[in-house]
Structure 1
Amino acid sequence: MLKKTFTALALGSALFAGQALAADYAIDKAGQHAFVNFKTGHLGFSYMHGTFKDFDGSFSFDAAKPEASKIEVTLKTASIDTNHAERDKHLRSDDFLNVSKHPTATFKSTSVKSTGEGTADVTGDLTLNGVTKPVVIAAQFIGEGKDPWGGYRAGFAGTTTIKMKDFGIKMDLGPATENVELTFSVEGVRK
C-alpha cells in the first residue's frame, strides 16, 4: 500500500511539474528580437534577400513535451523590405504579394515532431496571397532562461522553402526564382 501511494505521489508530482513548465510566450516584436527573412535567386546570377518588418505572434512551449508546442504568426505583407524601394513596390503589386487584396500572411502550426536533440519539424498552415498550404519548418531550439529585465524568454530558429506558384504568385522570372527560402528567428517573452 505504501509503495502504491508513493508511486501515485511521484506520478502526480511529475505531472504537475510538467504542467508548470508549459508556458505561453509573446514574440518580442517591440524589442526587435524576432525576424522573418527570405532569400530567392535573382535570374541565376545572385541571391536577393529581404525581410518583413511588421509581424506579431505567440507560441506555447514546454521543453519536456516539445510535441505539444504551438505557434501562430501574422505578418503584414506591405512591410516587405528588400532594401530597394522600386523592387519593394513591385513585390507589393498583384504580380507577387497583392498586398491591397491580401494585407496579411499567417502561419498556424498543426503539429510538432521532434527530430533530435533541440530540433523539430513544425508542420502548419501557411496562408500567403490568399492561398493556404501546409508547410514544414525545420526548427531549432536556441535556448530559454531569465533575461536581465526580470522576464523569462525562449528562442527558436527555423527554415522552410516554398514554391511561389503554389501560393498563386503569377510572376515567373525563371527557374532560379521559383523557390523562396523563409528563415525565422523568434525570441518570445513569457506571458
Structure 2
Amino acid sequence: MKNILISALAFAALSVSFVADAAKYKIDIKGAHAFINFKASHLGYSWLTGRFNEFDGEFDFDPNNINASKITVDINPASIDSNHAERDKHLRSEDFLSVDKFPKSKFVSTKITDLGDNKLKVEGNFTLHGVTKPIVIDAVKIGEGKDPWGGYRAGFSGTTTINVADYDFKSAWVGNVELELHIEGIRQ
C-alpha cells in the first residue's frame, strides 16, 4: 500500500510539473523587447528597411509539447516606420497598405512543429490589406528563464517572406517583402 501511495504522489508531482511548464505569455511591448521588421527591394537597386512600431500579442508555449503551442499577433499597419515621413505617408496610402480601409493586420498560428535544435516551423494565417493567406515562419527559440524583476520570459526569432501581389495591393511592383520577428514574452 505504501508503494502505491508513493507512486501516486510521484505521478501527481510529475503531472503538476508538466502542467506548470505549459504557460501563456504576453508579448513584451511595454519594455520594447519585441520587434517586427521588414525589408523590401527598392527597384532592385537597394533595400528599403523598416518596422511596425505598434503591435501586440500573446503565445502559449509548452516546452514539453511544442506542437500544442500557439501564437497570435495583432499589427497596426499605420505604425509603419521606414525612417522617412513622406515615404511612410505613401506606404499608408491607397497605393499600399490602405490603412484607413484596413486598420488591422493579424497573424494567427494554425500549427507549430518542433524541428529540433530549438528550430520551429510556425504555420498560420496572415491577414494584410484585408486578405488572409497562409504563411510559414522559420523560427528559433532563443531562450527562456527568470528575469531580474521576478518574472519568467521566453524569446523567439523568426523570418518569413510574403509576396505583396498576393495581398491585392494597388501598387504591387514591390514584389517580395521579408518579415523578421523578434518576440519576447512575459509568462502570465
TM-score of Structure 1 vs Structure 2, range by shorter chain: over 0.9
Q: Kindly report which structure 2 residues correspond to 1:1-191, keeping only aligned pairs within 5 A, or say none.
A: 11-173=11-173, 177-191=174-188
RMSD of the alignment, in Å? 1.7
Q: State, as a whole percentage, how many aligned pairs show the same letter.
A: 53
Taking structure 1 as the reference length, the TM-score comes to 0.92
SS of the aligned residue for 2:115 comes to strand
The size of the alignment, in residue pairs, is 188
Name the CA distance, whole Å, in 2 between partners of 1:46 and 1:79.
23
SS of the aligned residue for 2:180 comes to strand
Taking structure 2 as the reference length, the TM-score comes to 0.93
- Cα drift, residue 14 of structure 1: 3.2
CA deviation map 1:134-181 (0-9, x unaligned) = 1111110001111111111110000100000111112133xxx30000
SS of the aligned residue for 1:166 comes to helix
Name the CA distance, whole Å, in 2 between partners of 1:110 and 1:14.
29
Name the CA distance, whole Å, in 2 between partners of 1:155 and 1:91.
30
Name the CA distance, whole Å, in 1 between partners of 2:14 and 2:168.
48
Name the CA distance, whole Å, in 1 between partners of 2:67 and 2:145.
20
The aligned amino acid for 1:187 is E
> What 5-or-longer segments of structure 2 have no aligned partner?
none
C-alpha spacing 1:3/1:135, structure 2 compared with 1 (3 Å): farther
CA deviation map 1:59-88 (0-9, x unaligned) = 111111111111111011100000011110
Runs ≥4 residues deviating over 2 A:
1-16
The aligned amino acid for 1:184 is L
- Cα drift, residue 9 of structure 1: 5.6
